[in-house]
Structure 1
Amino acid sequence: MPRKPPSQVRADLPREARSWESRAVIPGLSGKTLAEIARIERRSGGLWVGGTRLAFTHWRWTAHRPGPRVIYPVDEQCCDPMTGCRGALEQVRLTLPRAAGRELLAVLAPLDERFLARTLNDPFAPPGDPWWCRRLENP
């Protein structure tokens, strides 16, 4: 009986998920919504597996980061070079089914409110940009 090559034996072994492959729970989302997000991440070319969690974590840090009452947005280019992490989350939200999208929006709403309360409007920003891009940049 022929033996399996060592590479096949290693490939058949169960392995732990690496941190960047993790689909860790986003607080406040149901398992069904998390499963939908994982399906979108596997299917689309926009985000990698776990990219939504990374974008959410970065957006939460941006909204809650320490500092003065008024903050200036830092480089938000962690996920998407055009719109940043909040844009990536919005893209996922629009791709999700309606109920799951509303659930994600409900989790994002307190972070968005806090971000809006702690940043200043940029009166010179192009009106066609998303609201999170129309905030003042660091001088």
Structure 2
Amino acid sequence: MPRRRPGKIRVGAPASHGTTGARPVIDGLSSRALSEIIRLEHTRNYLQPGDVSAAVGLWKDYVHQPERDLWLDYEWGNVHWYCCGNPLEARALLDTVMQAMSPRNARELRKVVSRSDAVWNLPSPPYGTDGR
């Protein structure tokens, strides 16, 4: 019998229930918190498998973009958000999920999300810091 590779959940694609061993990966979360996220993704009508880890990744990637890109998104919007996901909606989804989780597991997810929030809330450097 050929050896099978473990299943992998693709971000944005619904995972089949037959996939064994496929778990979302969010750095900094315990297996207990990940198990609760999996349960929520299977029992809540506003979630699909993989949505929470995709939202964490989307928010993290967005806040690490250069300030100029963030400003353009704020002023004009971003047409890629329609196909690739809106990071601001992803952040709102994370708030909703944290409210649905048990306090202990929500605290873990809040800690992970707060790292990206801290980057988002950093003050901009003043103009002319390069000596001009």
TM bin (shorter chain)? 0.5 to 0.7
Of 94, 98, 106, which aligns to 2:111?
A: 106
Match of 1:36 in 2: 36
1:92 aligns with 2:97: yes
Count of aligned pairs: 104
TM-score normalised over the length of structure 2: 0.66
Instruction: Report the alpha carbon displacement of residue 23 of structure 1 after superposing the two structures with TM.
Output: 3.3
- Rounded Cα–Cα distance in structure 2 between residues aligned with 1:109 and 1:38: 21
- Rounded Cα–Cα distance in structure 2 between residues aligned with 1:116 and 1:89: 17
Match of 2:48 in 1: 48
State the secondary structure of the residue aligned to 1:41.
helix
Report if the CA contact (8 A) 1:41-1:51 is conserved. Answer: yes
User: Which ranges of structure 2 fall in alignment gaps of 5 or more residues?
Assistant: 1-5, 16-21, 125-132
Match of 1:117 in 2: 122
Instruction: Output the aligned Cα RMSD.
Output: 2.9
Greater gyration radius: 1
Instruction: Report the alpha carbon displacement of residue 116 of structure 1 after superposing the two structures with TM.
Output: 1.6
Over 3 Å counting, the alpha-carbon distance change for 1:98 and 1:70 in structure 2 is same
State the secondary structure of the residue aligned to 1:29.
coil
Q: Percent identity?
A: 25
